[in-house]
Structure 1
Amino acid sequence: MVIQVKQRLLMLLAELEQQLQELGWWEQQPPSAQALQSQQPFCVDTLEFSQWLQWVFIPRMRSLASSEHNLPQQCAIYEMAEVVYREKGITVNNVLSCLKNIDAAIMTPHRLH
């Protein structure tokens, strides 16, 4: 079951990357090391949310999904995205949908126990 969840998560992360690319939010140059070391949740003081998704969230989740490590016990990334993108309207619906599916995938093994 856990392997299936991790495979689903990897597929969803690839979909999220594609959605960010389609919106033109996928960057070629990484932010500075200092920006990535922010102590604030989601690096809100140093990165745009899409940058955080690209440079922090996606790599971290891919690493966990590709390893023997457990996935987080909870994930509420969709809720944060909803707040950040509430003014964007329909343009971000696919990103929001993907993030909601990522939350659900991460929570699946924990709902079964």
Structure 2
Amino acid sequence: MDFHQQIRQLLFEVEQAMQALSMWQAQPPAREAFDSVEPFSIDTMCPEQWLQWILLPRMHALLDQRAPLPQRFVIAPYFEQAMPQATRLLVLLRQLDEALNIDFPPGSPGAGA
């Protein structure tokens, strides 16, 4: 499994964990919620909304385009504070952090911008 496939698999597992925890929402937040400039849209979305409606679609879009992925990626600490009871989800978010913080040699297929 290549790097992009590993990341996509982690994203699918995040989705499944959110569904198992009844965090998955059928309807997106109001359009204005997407206009936030705050980290994690903290002023307009709850943590699970940001994961479902911002992070997951953006990461899937990057993967679909085979675009560079973020390399200095740390989201788990925020979610550890916001939802400490979501153990399985937190494990997956830590794995995503670890996977996206690998140093790639310049010009390698996994290297970001």
- The bucket for the TM-score relative to the shorter chain is 0.7 to 0.9
* Structure 1: runs of 5+ lacking an equivalent: none
Q: Deviations over 1:24-57 (max 9, x none)?
A: 1100001111101111110111111000000000
Could you tell me whether the CA contact under 8 Å between 1:5 and 1:106 is conserved in 2?
A: no
* Structure 2: runs of 5+ lacking an equivalent: 106-113
Letter in 2 for 1:100: R
Residue 50 in structure 1 maps to residue 48 in structure 2: yes
Residue 36 in structure 1 maps to residue 49 in structure 2: no
With normalisation by structure 2, the TM-score equals 0.86
- How far, CA to CA, are the matches of 2:35 and 2:97 in structure 1? 24
The answer to which structure, 1 or 2, has the higher relative contact order (CA under 8 A, 6+ apart) is 1
Name the counterpart of 1:99: 93
Shift >4 Å, 4+ stretches = none
Q: After TM superposition, give the deviation of residue 68 of structure 1 in Å.
A: 2.6
Determine which structure has the larger helix proportion and give its number: 1
Q: Share of identical aligned residues, percent?
A: 34
Letter in 1 for 2:78: M
